[in-house]
A and B are shown apart, each in its own frame.
Chain A
Amino acid sequence: MERKSPVFTAFVYACAILLAAVILAPLAWLFVMSISPAADLAAKPLRWWPQAADFSRYGQLLSTAQNSAGAAFTASLRNSLEVAGMATLAAILLAVPAGWAVSRTPSVGWSLSMVIATYMLPPVALSVPLYMGLSHLGLLNNVFGLALIYLTILAPFTTWLMKSGFDSIPREIEAAAMIDGAGLFQTWRIITLPLAAPVVATSALFAVLLAWDEFFYALLFTSDQRAKTLTVAIADLAGGRVSDYGLIATAGVLAALPPVLIGLVMQRALISGLTSGGVKG
């Protein structure tokens, strides 16, 4: 073991505290803003802790009374859930066969590389034809249309992760099942998928995070409560026309909650996914 001088130990602790502060301070402030009365947020000098915590904005945004601001927010929350859910499910359904194929037949792997390379394309390069195409199909401002587009963002990643997952499952186990007369899909059901379940879960969570975060396509292709997602709703609030900063902060807290919880719970799996697949920035 390396000998550690007290000075070095103190230095490590100082750095650790600094790092913790850098990470936590902005997040803590977001939460404090969400519970501070408007007057406190406009005070000079600024009041760092509210005199009385005010949680009313959470109620306001989560209320579902018809035609209220809360209804608009909860609608976007629902849209985000629907779009992310559908796109993730579809991305897994595509990724399992494709990932397995590439894992077991590496000679087709180049096509997966092509699929992954689409990640380089800036969305603006596809946006005009996609806009016109969705318009022709009547899928503008529609959760299915948006989910279809998200699918092409998620599927390359889920496929890559699934491929890595299948790589670690020995072919011999599958071969044994096949010799016993099981077909391909039966082998998957009985042998492969149960073994790959953790990878499926990780891929799905990744996909949800990616879909939840997307903004550009949602900004262009949705226009109202029928399809508008959370990210767009928050950008609208932050646009400078809402004077209650606390309300903006509250919306931010609510939108951040699901991905942050996923992140905390699934930390280990996410990191191993990141290092093997190298996903998301």
Chain B
Amino acid sequence: MSGTWMTTRAWLLMLPLLVIMVAVIGWPLVDTVRLSFTDAQLVGTAGNYVGFDNYTKMLTSSNFTRTLSTTTWFAVVSVAAEMVLGVLAALLLNQEFRGRAVLRGLMILPWALPTVVNATLWRLIYNPEYGALNAALTQLHLIDDYRSWLGEPGTALAALIVADCWKNFPLVALIALAALQAVPRDITAAALVDGAGPFNRFRFVILPYLAGPLMVALVLRTIEAFKVFDIIWVMTRGGPANSTRSLSILVYQEAFSFQRAGSGASLALIVTLLVTVLAVAYAALVRKTAGSAA
């Protein structure tokens, strides 16, 4: 069979997928770009060309800068915590102890829980009057009075991050565990004979095996965290005093609650650009650290 025919056939087989992707993602993306230069309303007027007005308006608004820093903070802290907790849990699960198989099995549970259910569950736990967290902490005498976890800007974002971490660190743990099991026994044994301490063993013997898979998890989680909508929508809707409003929620508000499709589109594209830059930077990093992993 000739190479040309192989390639043509490959494209033909790819065609259905590509057509759907272009129609349902490519076209809307192009249309979002068009909308972002208009003052279109969601319902009704199609809008007139307004140049870069929407962009300058959005980029200079205090809402945007504040929301950007909230989102960044959420992404950085929650992803970092998930990575650290995930690796620690994986190291634990790589030890031999009774019940290990069961515990490994349990790890899948938080990850399988739908995001909205997770958010709902934690919202109930954080309830200021009847929540389990307040009850538990008071009964353990760790706090004197019930607190408003989701009502204080100082704790609301942290509370969201905890909820997000709880759901996602097991995933990191499972990925890291799979990688750990690929570390040959004799290498760790050799390092032990060489007198390497636990930290050095982790740093020089084990970490290289983890780096590739962990980078992939890191990239995916960071992108996810930057796009965060569901968990915040259910738990705080961006409150109190907008202290937990993420970029996605800001776009929703602009485009759907206020029905300003044009400026909402420009804001959405700014977010897209940020995520893309982030992903490209990461991808470069992945290539550097892991070589073949992508």
Contact = CB atoms under 8 A, between A and B. Distances in A.
| Chain A complexes with chain B | yes
A95 B223 CA distance: 24
Interface string B176-203: 0011000000001100100000000000
Contact of A16 (B92, B170, B178, B279): B92
B119 to A, nearest CB: 7
Interface in A154-176: 155-156, 159
Contact of B252 (A33, A120, A124, A230): A124
B140 to A, nearest CB: 11
B115 A215 contact: yes
A41 interface: yes
A91 to B, nearest CB: 9
The binding surface of chain B is classed by DSSP as helix
B149 interface: no
Given A16-B99, A152-B20, A152-B25, A124 B255 contact: yes
B66 interface: no
B91 to A, nearest CB: 9
A61 interface: no
Contacts of A259: 112-114
B258 interface: no
B234 A235 contact: yes
B6 to A, nearest CB: 5
Interface stretch (A62-70, A97-105, A195-203): A97-105
A275 B220 contact: no
Nearest to B97: A12
A263 interface: yes
Interface in B216-271: 216-217, 220-221, 223-224, 226-227, 229-230, 233-234, 247-248, 251-252, 255-256, 261, 264-265, 268-269, 271
B121 interface: yes
Interface residues of A, number: 96
Nearest to A213: B114
Interface in A12-69: 12-13, 15-16, 19-20, 22-24, 26-27, 29-30, 33, 41-42, 44-46, 48
B161 interface: no
Contact of B21 (A118, A252, A272, A275): A118
Contact of B112 (A44, A130, A209): A209
A46 B130 contact: yes
B89 A111 contact: no
Contacts of A19: 89, 92, 103
A207 to B, nearest CB: 14
Given A215-B230, A256-B117, A120 B216 contact: no
Contacts of A279: 220
A120 B174 contact: no
A223 interface: no
Contacts of B264: 124, 128
Q: Which of A26, A104, A259, A260 has the most CB of B within 10 A?
A: A26
A75 interface: no
Interface in B50-88: none
Contact of A33 (B18, B113, B124, B233): B124
Contacts of A15: 92
Given A26-B125, A213-B115, A115 B18 contact: yes
A93 B15 CA distance: 12
B132 A151 contact: no
A89 interface: no
A94 B111 CA distance: 26
Interface residues of B, number: 96
B155 interface: no
A23 B106 contact: yes
Nearest to A2: B192
B120 A122 contact: no
Contacts of A230: 114
Interface in A115-172: 115, 117-133, 148-149, 151-152, 155-156, 159
B285 interface: no
A270 B178 CA distance: 11
Given A118-B25, A127-B255, A274-B174, A16 B17 contact: no
Contacts of B117: 30, 231, 234, 252, 255-256
A2 B198 CA distance: 12
Contacts of B132: 29, 46
A48 B135 CA distance: 9
A280 B114 CA distance: 12
A264 B108 contact: yes
Nearest to A219: B233
A249 interface: yes
A193 to B, nearest CB: 14
Given A128-B42, A281-B221, A108 B123 contact: no
Q: Which of B35, B109, B276 has the most CB of A within 10 A?
A: B109
Interface string A172-188: 00000000000010000
B97 A13 contact: yes
Given A100-B13, A104-B6, A121 B20 contact: no
6 contacts: A118-B21, A121-B29, A122-B275, A215-B115, A264-B105, A281-B217
9 nearest A-B residue pairs (beta carbon): A263-B112, A46-B135, A105-B10, A129-B31, A129-B28, A97-B13, A101-B13, A101-B10, A281-B224
